Structure 1
Amino acid sequence: MSTPSAVPAAGDSRRWMVLAVICTAYLMLTLDATVMNLALPSAQTSLHFSDADKQWVVTAYALSYGSLLLFSGRLADLIGRKETFVAGLAGFAAASAVGGAAGSFGMLVAARACQGVFAALLAPTALSLLATTFTDPKERGKAFGVFSAVAASGGGLGLLIGGALTSALNWRWCMYVNLVFAAFSLIAGSSLLTRQPRTGARMDVPGVVVVSGGMLCLVYGFSNAATHSWHTPSTWGFLVAGGVLVVLFSFWQRRAQHPLLPPRVVLDRNRGGSYIAALVVGAGMFGVLLFLIYYMQSDLGYSAITSGLALLPMVAVTAVASNVGNIRLMPRFGPRPLVSAGMLINAGGMAWLTRIGPASPYVSTLLGPTMVIGLAMGLIFAAVLRTGTSGVLPQDAGIASAAISTGQQLGGAIGTALLNTIAAGATTDYLTGYARGKPGPALLHLATIHGYTRVFWWCAGIFAFGAVLSGALLRSGPLPVPGRPTNPERITEPEKTRS
């Protein structure tokens, strides 16, 4: 007797509508991060909270999102991807509506924390749906090409949309816009996706508690380092505690009867390498999506919407490179050449950005390096997203997808803390070396740009290091096709381990 599938069967044209639903939901998540960053100054003025409190609008989201990703990925595998996907969409939309209507700082922070919870449900579920929907190699390449373009370019599009919304309307529409994306995905997804049978596996409750606590401590520790100091107990204490909990989690996963993150998922060289590559990209790309925006708006005088438009060429190149990488290059060369080359190209683009000055022309100084970075990100995302879910059984697709998102989130937290510290230190050193008494506006301007260039050099080093790691871990050649057990939904974790 056949069991119902969570997605339309192979050969059914509805699968491409499923792709549209998945991409729309994921685009909502990627847009939300940068859109809210642009909305923060206006929200601060409207709700009258301090600069110290402002960080909690970002941190509340990051804490709930980062700490629940692995749990949510396994939850999607156990209770069904449609149920998890719909719950994530509905919850994210509701939290966005509450955030848009927030009348106080506490209400906004609570809404952002709830957004993070439901984003943790959505992100791995969307990628696992993609991985289990498209199994034909040619169609898989096209589908991952579209999804990779959305994932890699969503941040840049968020700057454009956020700039337009804050300029034409107000900051609340940066939250309300999520309702448009969620409504389409909910209506279409509810009709296109069917219920998926449960796998019969169980949740690793001790593993969930340990890894969620570890990720929460790490994300909070790095977030605190970005706004305070590495020497404060609230920074290093949480980082140490998080590191200890992650080590305990890795030991537990080898002994648990139903591991949350089965070792077979992460010990594969290709998949493990892709998770590390996601972490490196999360750390390094912070230099583009934040400090470059600071430079364009604070130093060149660009408006929010002009900054978004300035990054459109990068977004376009990313989309093209993602599709070419997935459709043409991945089947022939495999992940190692794409990721390694992408990391090196990114390093070159970051080094090129160090030529910025107090009044740099856009075409000769910014257009070239941002397009190079867009090319690199397209190649990297084309390989990482597809490789991270390759060769896994359908029962592990959710947790494998969650591992990619976890790498990106942890990398972003590390990048936030590290690069903010580097920028502040470089700016202070410049002022100490050149100031005679109280520094004037011109010197402060030069010192800030010096901090940006120092950050871009560090980003170049991060990506160069990522190229070495990717070359050592990833393999060349075609990716394996996921296994096809006779009745995979009924295979429990112990049975799969014995097989």
Structure 2
Amino acid sequence: MTTTARRASTAAGQRTDGGPARASLILAIICISYFMVILDNSIVFTGLPQIRSDMGFSETGLSWITNAYVLVFGGLLLLGARAGDLCGHRRMFLSSLVVFSLTSLLVGAAQSQWWLIGARALQGVGAAVLAPSALSLLTRSFAEGRARDRAMAAYSAVAGLGAALGLVVGGLVADLVSWRAGFFLNVPIGVVMMVMAVRFLPETERRRGRFDIAGALLATVGSTALVLGIVDAADLGWTAPLTLTPLSAGVVMLGLFVRVERRAAQPIVPLRLFAGRERSGAYLTRMLYMGAMMGFFFFTAQFVQSVYHWTPLQAGLAFLPMTLVNFVVAVQVPKLLERFARPRVLLAGVVLTTLGMVWLSRLDLHTPYPTGVALPMVLIGAGQGLALAPLTSSGVDGVAPADAGAGAGLVNTVHQIGSALSLSILTAVAAAVSTDDAAADIAARSGAALTGSATLLALAVVAVLTLIVPMRAPRNARSRYRRPAL
């Protein structure tokens, strides 16, 4: 049997062995494991007031609890994706579950600011391998078309629900036990997923190659320097040397990153991934969209606790209008994609999210929850439910099998780096607002930051319209399902 034939046989076997029941188990393992990663992006939000009180964080310092995680996560994602290509995605998936579970234990046991931030950074290392391995296993297990669209809808629903439910879970455990308990929960879940993965997940073919260490370091350090400069600008001003130095260094290192990737024999980001207009548009839109959503979760969670004086649990439950609508809409996306072209579904989702964010950004010290927070969240939840699945599909469809890991890694990288950069910008915007009252400060800063999130979403709408919406609509949106399964 030729090498090509063996690869085709392996790919087909991974997609069909065991029938629907096995496919459902594979999808469940991938989604639950990815749920842990997304959960840890948001589980701290409802615990932030407790963490600030316990450890004495400043307003801008508090953002590093999130940024330490998402920066390392985003910066090493590409290297993690490459590791899956070279070492096997299941093997790396299992290794990352071990790292993620152990570092979650370290986060829960943190006794100082630097311990907490350092443990969050280490947790990002595990997430950087787990997320692209999960997405690569999903794309290799489900053929393009109806099967993959349904799997992507479930995967994307997990992304949306994980972010929202993280607030509820974080609020519940912070209220009843401590903010630390949410991280301890990852340990037993991680152990169960390891056992299930060994039993049911297929291994992918290992390929010979090298790790692009220079590219990974430049991407991680460059993006970290940019975030550091933006955060420092909130305290020192944009013209201060301690602001301009990391900003300049970040721009230089990211420029060197592009140069290294052009010359590398086996780059972590093959620049050919940007050749497709729709895929490039999906990367840009995802960066803007997820950056806006990170600001939404970060500032809204603090607003309802500081202005309404709600408990962490009540703050988590405050996001239920978004969570429930998100879930209801997300499960309908596969049916919608059968009737409408994917770019149109994506555009509707981004527009709805933008309208909800503009509405929410009007909040102030006297904003009532039902009409000023809950109703805008309904629009935001509906928009996110519509947007994430087609956005993910647009970022991975058409990628060659040899670039599967890099393609999956890049989707997650723009997600995390966009989140970190945007949160830093929004934190700087919020820090510039000051009043004579603590609660009024939070309200005014939240309104300013959410206005920034609405601006990012408006830019995302422009990106979808100019890069993703096709020049001419396909003759039949259903035609793409007629191709034979691979």
Q: Name the counterpart of 1:333.
A: 340
Report how many residues are paired: 470
The answer to whether the 8 A contact 1:72-1:121 is kept is yes
Tell me the residue number matched to 1:418: 425
- Residues 6 and 194 in structure 1, CA contact (< 8 A), matched pair in contact too: no
Distance 2:273 2:318 in 1: 40
- 1:27-46 map, 5 Å: 27-43=35-51
Structure 2 counterpart of 1:269, from 273, 277, 282 = 277
Map 1:203-282; keep pairs closer than 5 Å. 203-225=211-233, 229-282=237-290
Q: Which one of the candidate residues 78, 99, 103 is aligned to 1:70?
A: 78
Q: Gapped runs of 5+ residues in structure 1?
A: 432-438, 487-499
Give 1:395 shift.
2.4
Deviation at 1:238, TM superposition (A): 1.9
Q: Is the 8 A contact 2:67 2:420 kept in 1?
A: no
Aligned-CA RMSD value: 2.8
Summarize the Cα distance change of 1:119–1:104 in structure 2 as closer, same or farther, 3 Å threshold.
same
When the two structures are superposed, what TM-score results if normalisation uses the length of structure 2?
Answer: 0.88
1:44/1:402 CA distance change after superposition, 3 Å: same
SS at match of 1:203: coil
- 1:272-302 CA-partner distances (Å, limit 9, x unpaired): 1111111001221133212222221111122
Aligned to 2:383: 376
Q: Residue in 2 aligned with 1:10?
A: 16
In the TM superposition, residue 350 of structure 1 has moved relative to its aligned partner by 1.5
For the 8 Å contact 1:40–1:54, the answer to whether it is kept is yes
Q: State how far apart, in whole Å, the 1-side matches of 2:131 and 2:281 are.
A: 20
**1:305 and 2:298 correspond:** no
Quick one: structure 1 residues 124 and 37, their matched pair in 2 at CA, closer, same or farther if it must change by over 3 Å?
Answer: same
Report how far residue 164 of structure 1 moved: 0.7
Q: Give the distance between the partners of 1:184 and 1:224, measured in 2 at CA.
A: 41
CA distance in 1, matches of 2:200, 2:236: 48
Task: Indicate conservation of the 8 Å contact 1:99/1:175, yes or no.
Answer: yes
Q: CA deviation at 1:139?
A: 1.8
**Same amino acid, percent of matched pairs:** 31
* Matching residue's letter, 2:77: L
Report the Cα offset of residue 136 of structure 1: 5.0
Note if 1:351 corresponds to 2:358: yes
Q: Which whole-Å CA distance do the structure 1 matches of 2:151 and 2:453 have between them?
A: 30
**Contact 1:153–1:319, Cα closer than 8 Å, also in 2:** yes
Q: 2:460 aligns with which of 453, 461, 466?
A: 466
Q: Which amino acid aligns with 1:302?
A: W
Is the deviation greater in 29-38 or in 352-361? 352-361
Could you tell me how far 1:372 is from its partner in structure 2? 0.2
Deviation at 1:42, TM superposition (A): 3.6
1:151-208 per-residue CA deviation (whole Å, 9 max, x = no partner) reads: 0121210111011111111222121011132122111111112332212343334333
Match of 2:198 among 168, 190, 198: 190
- CA shift digits 1:442-468 (9 cap, x unpaired): xx6445433333333332222122111
Q: Give yes or no for the alignment of 1:362 onto 2:369.
A: yes
The answer to whether residue 397 in structure 2 is matched with residue 403 in structure 1 is no
Give deviations 1:330-365, integer Å, cap 9, x for gaps.
Answer: 344333222322222222112212443434332222
Distance 1:183 1:468, change over 3 A: same
Aligned 8 A contact 1:6 1:81 in 2: no
**Cα deviation, residue 111, structure 1:** 2.1
Letter in 2 for 1:352: W
- Per the normalisation by structure 1, the TM-score is 0.86
SS of aligned partner of 2:15: coil
Q: Secondary structure at the match of 2:331?
A: helix
Distance in 1, Cα, partners of 2:412 & 2:232: 21
- Structure 2 CA distance for aligned equivalents of residues 33 and 136 of structure 1: 29
Partner of 2:170: 162
Asked whether the equivalents of residues 274 and 388 of structure 1 are also in contact (C-alpha less than 8 Å), the reply is yes
Instruction: State the alpha-carbon separation in 1 of the partners of residues 418 and 396 from structure 2.
Output: 19
Contact in 1 for aligned 2:80/2:409 (Cα 8 Å): yes
- What is the letter of the counterpart of residue 209 of structure 1? L
Q: Which amino acid aligns with 1:147?
A: Y
Partners of 1:253 and 1:20 in 2: CA distance: 35
1:454 correspondence with 2:462: no
User: Which SS does the other structure have where 2:268 is aligned?
Assistant: coil
Q: Secondary structure at the match of 1:300?
A: coil
Q: How does 1:423-438 map to 2 (within 5 A)?
A: 423-425=430-432, 427-428=433-434, 431=435
Distance in 1, matches of 2:365 and 2:347, equals 33
Residue 36 and residue 351 in structure 1: after superposition, are their counterparts in 2 closer, same or farther (change >3 A)?
closer
How far 1:83 moved relative to its partner? 0.9
CA distance in 1, matches of 2:465, 2:28: 33
Aligned residue identity for 2:291:
A
Answer whether contact 2:103 2:123 (CA < 8 A) is retained. Answer: yes
One-letter code aligned to 2:329: A
Q: Give the distance between the partners of 1:55 and 1:357, measured in 2 at CA.
A: 22
The structural deviation recorded for 1:114 is 1.3
Match of 1:358, SS?
coil
Q: How far is the alpha carbon of 1:256 from its aligned partner?
A: 2.6
Q: Check 1:54–1:291 CA distance in 2 against 1; reply closer, same or farther (3 A cut).
A: closer
Q: Which residue of 2 aligns with 1:496?
A: none
Measured after TM superposition, the shift of residue 60 of structure 1 is 3.1
